[in-house]
Amino acid sequence: MSELFEPLLRSYDERRRAELVAAYMAVEHAAAPVPEVRFAALREPALRRTVEAMLGLSGRTLVRAATKEWISGYRDEVAAELAADPDCAPPADERAVLTLVLIHSVAIPRAAGLLADDSWQSPFPTPVEELRRRSQLPIGELEAALRRLRVAGLVTQVKAGGDEAGGFVPGPQFHRLTDAARRRLQEELILAAGPDSPLAAAIRARRRGRSNIQGDSK
């Protein structure tokens, strides 16, 4: 018996309890969003609130990925705390490599109208040669960064085959972004790819406004 979850699970009968545990483990460990048709505790709103509360114990929340599909991710306020923690933020070379993958596999195809506006999954791999050239990292360090990003599920390797060139695309962790996290990432990508664009200026102005309001309320 788990002391952590017991207060939330205590009132349910054995069958409901098993459904809650199954849904919790599925959204926490699946590679991709899981369909609610397979998990009673995701289908029924009252049970889904309990799954949400179970996730909340570890700073996680439910993320609705598509109609009737769910996965888990960090709560926004928890993600902000983790990002500010130097032990938790990935080192600069990993972030640089990941940014390059997002620019090549998502931002450029999205600007060309080849990808839906809100998708972080991409069929367009970033060639390793491009990563080597643009990151200016020695090959050993680039490979180590890619190994850690792959292990973390942040990038996925696509093997070359036929006419298709191989490379790297955003990994399964990008299913786990909350709406606010997707918005923030989209803004960061605009700031990275077009820092002098009017859109980037608008984002900076809005952020300044927001931090002023927060500053005033303190």
Partner 1 sequence: MSVDPQVLARARARVLGVPSITVAEPVPPGFTGASDGTRVWLLPEWPDGATPALLEEYDTAPMPLDRPGQARRVLAAALRCCWPRLDDAPWPGQDALVIDVLEVYVGLSRGDADLARRWATGELRRLADTGWLLLDEAAGTVRPGPRVALWADETLGPLRDLLRRLPEPVREDAP
Query: Which residues bind to partner 1, rule: CB under 8 A?
Result: 1-5, 9, 17-18, 20-22, 24-26, 29-32, 34, 38-39, 54, 56-60, 74-75, 77-78, 81-82, 85, 87-88, 147-148, 150-151, 153, 156-157, 172
- Report, in Å, the least distance between residue 212 CB and partner 1: 19
Cβ closer to partner 1: 87 or 196? 87
Helix (H/G/I), strand (E/B), else coil: 72:
strand
Cβ closer to partner 1: 39 or 120? 39
- Report, in Å, the least distance between residue 159 CB and partner 1: 10
Are 28 and 55 contacting, i.e. CB atoms less than 8 angstroms apart?
Answer: yes
Are 53 and 21 contacting, i.e. CB atoms less than 8 angstroms apart?
Answer: no
- Report, in Å, the least distance between residue 98 CB and partner 1: 15
Cβ closer to partner 1: 25 or 202? 25
- Report, in Å, the least distance between residue 31 CB and partner 1: 5
Core vs surface per residue 129-141: b (16+ CB within 10 A) or e: ebbbeebebeeee
Instruction: State the Cα–Cα distance between residues 135 and 168, nearest whole angstrom.
Output: 14
Nearest residue to 39 (alpha-carbon basis) of 71, 7, 3: 71
